[in-house]
Structure 1
C-alpha cells in the first residue's frame, strides 16, 4: 500500500468520524426537543385528567359484564382498586387469581371495591371475556370499556395498570404491571 493510499484512508476515516459526530449531535438535540415536548404534553394531560397523586380520579360509567351499570363516583366512601386489563395479556392472567383471592379474603372487611375494567375495545370480544371470567372464577365487577375511553383517560399504555383510589375519590398510587395479593393488601392499607 502506498503512502498516498494510506493517507486517503486516514482522511476518509476522519471525515466519517466528524460526520457521525455531527449526525449524532443533531439527532440527540431533536430527541431532546421532542422529549421535552412530550413531557410538557404529559404534564398537561395528567393535570387535566387527574392522574397525579392526590387528584380526584376521573369519573366514568360503564356497563359490567353481568349487565349492570357502574359509576366510579358512586363508590365514594369506599377504597377502590381500578385495574385495566385484557384477556390476552399474560401478566393480567397471572394477576387475576391474586385479585380474586384478595377480593374474597379482605375486600368486605377493608371497605374495598375492585373494578377490573376490561379494555374491551382492544380485547377479543365478550364471548372470550365471559369464558375468561368463568375459567378464573372472578366474582368482582368487570366493567367493559367498549369504546376505549377509560383506557385512554387512565393512560393504560402498559397493562395491567392499576390505580388505588382512597375513600374521597383521590388517586393515591398507580401500579404498572401485575400485583399479587400481598401488594394489594399493602397498598390498600395505606389508603384513607
Structure 2
C-alpha cells in the first residue's frame, strides 16, 4: 500500500484512483473488526451518511489528517457515521493494532477505530493508497472518493454535502 497526496482530485486523477470505481455505486458489504475484536459488516451502519477513511499510523498524510478528522467526528458524529479503518496486516507489516491504538491516544478527541485484518476490506474496495476517503449517502451509495491531502474546510464541505439541506444552514 502506498501513500499519495494531491491538493485537488481532478476528474482525470479520480479515474486513476482504483477505488473511484465505486462512485455512484453502493459500497460493497465488507467485514471489518471493532476495537474489541468483534467482526462487523459495513451494512450494519446503513441509514446515516458515512465517511470511511482508510488510514495507517505510519502515513504522514494520515497523521496530518487525523486530528482534523477527529475534530470533525466530534462535530458531526450524531449525523454522520465515521469509520476510521486502520490498514492493519499489510504485506509490509508496518501497521499493527497496538500501533494504531497508541496513535489514537495522541489525538485531541477520541474516535472509533476499526481494523482491516489482512487488508481484506482494502483489497475488496480497491484501496491502493492511504489515506483514502469514501463519502457515502444514507443509502450506502458512494458520492465521492479521494486520496487527496484535504484541508479541514475541504473535508467539512464533503461532509456537509452528505447532509440534508436544512442541516447545512445551522
TM interval, shorter chain, is: 0.7 to 0.9
TM value normalised by structure 2: 0.76
In structure 2, relative to structure 1, the CA distance for the partners of 1:50 and 1:156 (3 Å cut) is closer
TM-score normalised over the length of structure 1: 0.68
8 Å CA contact 1:51–1:154 kept in 2: the answer is no
CA distance in 2, matches of 1:64, 1:137: 21
Higher-Rg structure is: 1
Equivalent-residue separation in structure 2 for 1:146 and 1:137 (angstroms) = 26
User: If each structure's helix is expressed as a fraction of its own residues, which one has the higher value?
Assistant: 1
Aligned residues: 145
- In the alignment, which residue of structure 1 is the partner of 2:149? 178
Give me the CA root mean square deviation: 2.3
Q: Which has the higher contact order (CA 8 A, sep 6+)?
A: 2
* Aligned partner (choices 112, 130, 134) of residue 101 of structure 2: 130
Match of 2:5? none
SS at match of 1:147: helix
1:100 matched residue in structure 2 = 70
Check if 1:55 corresponds to 2:25.
Answer: yes
- Partners of 2:149 and 2:125 lie apart in 1 by 16
Q: Secondary structure at the match of 1:163?
A: strand
Which ranges in structure 2 are unaligned for 5 or more consecutive residues? Answer: 1-14, 164-170
* Distance in 2, Cα, partners of 1:59 & 1:178: 26
